[in-house]
Amino acid sequence: MADESVLALAHAPELLQQLQNPEGDFDEDTPYVPDIYAHARRSVGAALEAVDLARAGQKVFSLMRPPGHHATYREAMGFCYLNQVAIAGLVARQQGVARVAIWDFDAHHGNGTEDILKGREGFAVCSVHQFPGYPGTGTQDTIGCRNWPIAPHATREVQMQALRQAWDHLLAFQPELMLISAGFDAYAHDPVATLSLEMSDFGELGKWVREAALPTAAVLEGGYSPDLPQLMDAFLSAWEG
């Protein structure tokens, strides 16, 4: 479980207090459940451990819930309570990692990650996501954060081209650490989004990660299809090689 002191690197004291003493649901997508603060801290702790292992040379995937990439500096939203990828990146920077890249291929814009990290030195963040779609952001670039909005029902080719552009942008940043917000809801048969990737496409993403051979940790974000285990396996098997 993550120490409370690291949470303050990415989140306002008011949000941390609200998570500990909620007065009800955070929004219609982000309910209060018993011990949610502890569960979210465990997700953060797993991401921190994943980064430690990645920096030691391992290929690491954090299979945890709740996800985090919608959690902003001040707000829990979109099923997300604490932003584990942003926190893990900030801790890595504190530990001396000069350049941290974050690749978000979830079907939804990583608005929380952008909110927390935009303009911060040593970060490059890329999100490829459906728009229009939740949370209704991610149409413009901000300092250190680039966005590729993809129209609903866009072809696989359009989406894979955007994912490759985002990946190449991050590689050009020459990161010392790659963090991946790995959402699998861009799958053609996901019940939440309306994008077009097939299982083999997630294998292609994993191949890119393997070929880059960077210290890399991936964290599970979205993915709501019954095929989620197979989608993760396609990505991870290709990454492992």
* Catalytic annotation present for 39: no
**Structural contact between residues 29 and 136, judged by C-beta atoms closer than 8 angstroms:** no
CB burial class (10 A; 0-12, 13-18, 19+) of residue 140? exposed
User: Which residues on adjacent β-strands are paired with residue 61?
Assistant: 218
CB burial class (10 A; 0-12, 13-18, 19+) of residue 4? exposed
User: Residue 88: how many CB atoms within 10 A of its CB?
Assistant: 32
Q: Which pair of structure tokens corresponds to residue 233? A: 């396996």
Taken in order 211, 190, 82, 40, is the CA torsion positive or negative? negative
Q: Which pair of structure tokens corresponds to residue 155? A: 């072809």
Return the amino acid letter for 11.
H
User: Which residues on adjacent β-strands are paired with residue 147?
Assistant: 127
User: Which residues on adjacent β-strands are paired with residue 128?
Assistant: 148
Distance, CA of 31 to CA of 38 (rounded, Å): 14
Out of 11, 69, 70, 129, which one is annotated catalytic?
70
**Structural contact between residues 73 and 86, judged by C-beta atoms closer than 8 angstroms:** no
Catalytic residue annotation:
70
